[in-house]
């Protein structure tokens, strides 16, 4: 009887590792914004999920459909710079979210960032 909780705890630890979700680490939230006209960081928890590749979309409540930034991003690299060119069509504003989705089916969303802002050209970068 005493062993059971320990066994369950160990089992749930194994399951939580195997099923760990892909998560966007940057940008997202009040303190993690992008700056228009600059190269901006995208970072995710590359080591904790089984996903091999994903597409990167950016969405906003004002958009009819999300905009694709990267078609086929390998998971293992952990981060990459999104060039000013890749985001030049995006207006400055709030409410943006990054979505990491199934390469073959963009309705299958693996991870979504917290909402973040794209600040005007020349704004300070987050620390
Ligand atoms: C993720 O894996 C890569 C490659 O194995 C390694 O270089 C990196 O340090 C790992 N990062 C974390 C946060 O574990
Ligand atoms: C940005 O896009 C423009 C137009 O497509 C292209 O001429 C330019 O070389 C690109 N700049 C970079 C740094 O990729
Ligand atoms: C795409 O993903 C969505 C959400 O997971 C799912 O409901 C839908 O059936 C998938 N479509 C195909 C063609 O697999």
What is the pLDDT, as a whole number, of residue 19? 57
Cα-trace Rg, the chain: 17
First-last CA distance in the chain: 51
Query: Does any ligand 2 atom lie closer than 6 A to the CB of residue 89?
Result: no
User: Using CA positions, which residue lies closest to atom 11 of ligand 1?
Assistant: 47
How far is Cα 3 from Cα 83, in angstroms, rounded to an integer?
54
Using 50, 70 and 90 to split pLDDT, how confident is the model at 15?
A: very low
Ligand 1 pocket mutation pick from 46, 50, 76, 79 by most atoms within 8 angstroms of CB:
46
What CATH number belongs to 21-119? 2.60.40.2840
Residue 111: pLDDT above 60?
Answer: yes
- pTM score: 0.80
How far is Cα 86 from Cα 107, in angstroms, rounded to an integer?
21
In tens, the pLDDT along 46-82 reads 988 889 999 999 999 999 999 999 999 999 999 999 9
Residue 10: pLDDT above 70?
Answer: no
Q: What are the structure tokens assigned to 82, written together? A: 């999104």
What are the boundaries of each domain within the chain?
21-119
Q: What is the mean pLDDT of the chain?
A: 89
Residue in 116, 122, 46 with CA at minimum distance from that of residue 84: 122
SS3 at position 111: strand
Residue in 96, 104, 41 with CA at minimum distance from that of residue 71: 104
Ligand 1 pocket mutation pick from 22, 25, 44, 47 by most atoms within 8 angstroms of CB:
47
């Amino acid at each position: 009887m005493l062993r059971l909780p320990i066994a369950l705890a160990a089992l749930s630890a194994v399951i939580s590792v195997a099923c760990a979700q892909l998560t966007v680490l940057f940008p997202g939230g009040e303190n993690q914004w992008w700056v228009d006209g600059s190269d901006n960081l995208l970072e995710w928890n590359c080591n904790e999920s089984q996903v091999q590749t994903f597409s990167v979309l950016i969405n906003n409540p004002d958009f009819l459909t999300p905009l694709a930034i990267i078609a086929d991003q390998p998971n293992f690299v952990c981060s990459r710079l999104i060039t000013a060119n890749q985001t030049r069509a995006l207006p400055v504003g709030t409410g943006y979210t990054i979505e990491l989705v199934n390469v073959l089916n963009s309705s299958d969303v693996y991870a979504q960032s917290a909402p973040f802002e794209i600040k005007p050209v020349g704004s300070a970068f987050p620390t």
